[in-house]
Amino acid sequence: MHTVDKALQKIIKNSKITGTNVDIRDYDFKLTRFAALLHDVGHYPFSHALDKRIQPDHEHYSAILVKNLS
């Protein structure tokens, strides 16, 4: 989520510098950050680096956690 937040902030900043019209609404910003947070819930330390070694990958754990919240 942190990386997505930084990327969106950079896009907004660069669009102002270059005069490019990038329309990222507050709703879109929040929704994108929420999607990134849902992706992050299944993470364990260094999970992207270890996805090939630890099966199933962190996305599988994220899906299980989200499905079992209700």
* Rounded (to 5) percent helix, strand, coil in the chain: 65, 0, 35
pLDDT score at 43: 75
The domains of the chain are located at 2-67
19 φ/ψ angles, rounded to the nearest 5 degrees? 75, 15
Tens-digit pLDDT string for the chain (70 aa): 889 999 999 998 999 899 988 888 889 989 999 888 887 777 777 777 777 777 777 778 778 888 887 6
Sign of CA dihedral 61, 65, 68, 70: negative
pLDDT score at 70: 63
pTM of the predicted protein model: 0.63
Question: What distance in Å separates the CA atoms of residue 4 and residue 29, rounded to the nearest whole number?
Answer: 9
First-to-final CA distance of the chain: 22
